[in-house]
Amino acid sequence: MNIPRDATDVNNFLREMKRTVAGNDDGCYGWRFVTRQKSVDCVAELGFRLADVGATLLDLTIADYCEGPLRDTGMPGDLWVFGKILNEKEVYIKLKLAKLGPLQIVRVVSFHFSEEPLCYPYKQ
């Protein structure tokens, strides 16, 4: 597990991620859901629409943090992992701030039921 030195790194990521998800007009463009079957199945089983996924992102706090930043070996940038209890099930959420030309987006790389219990270092 790769834990930042302190909560500042996590809070900075959350602030930038939420600003981007909100789609402010200063180059932040919102978010994109990576359509992997596990994630699609999870969203369907939860009875969620994509708007509910976006609302979940905006609801994340430092207490939901699990690990990161982790180096993305496939593309430049870092991955951040969070967990959230939704409909009484633990959901694994992996996010990345990414650039599309001059625009910044949040890529929801994973949004599926956790395959093993997650660790929450900042949960009290």
The pLDDT tens digits for 64-112 are: 999 999 988 888 889 999 999 999 999 999 999 988 778 888 999 999 9
Q: What digits encode the pLDDT tens for the residues 87-100?
A: 999 999 999 998 87
Residue 90 in any domain: the answer is yes
Which 3 state secondary structure label does DSSP give 122? coil
The count of structural domains within the chain is 1
Residue 2 lies in a domain: no
Residue 124 within a domain? no
Q: Which amino acid is at 21?
A: V
CATH number (domain holding residue 76): 3.30.2310.40
Q: Using the 8-state DSSP alphabet, how is residue 77 labeled?
A: S
Q: 40 lies in a domain?
A: yes
The reply to whether 120 falls in a domain is no
Q: Cα dist. 23→16, 54, 103 in Å?
A: 11, 11, 10
Radius of gyration of the chain (CA): 14
Q: Residue 87, by phi and psi: left (phi above 0), alpha (psi -120 to 50) or beta?
A: left
Task: Kindly report the pTM of this predicted structure.
Answer: 0.91
Please give the residue range of the domain that contains residue 80. Answer: 7-113
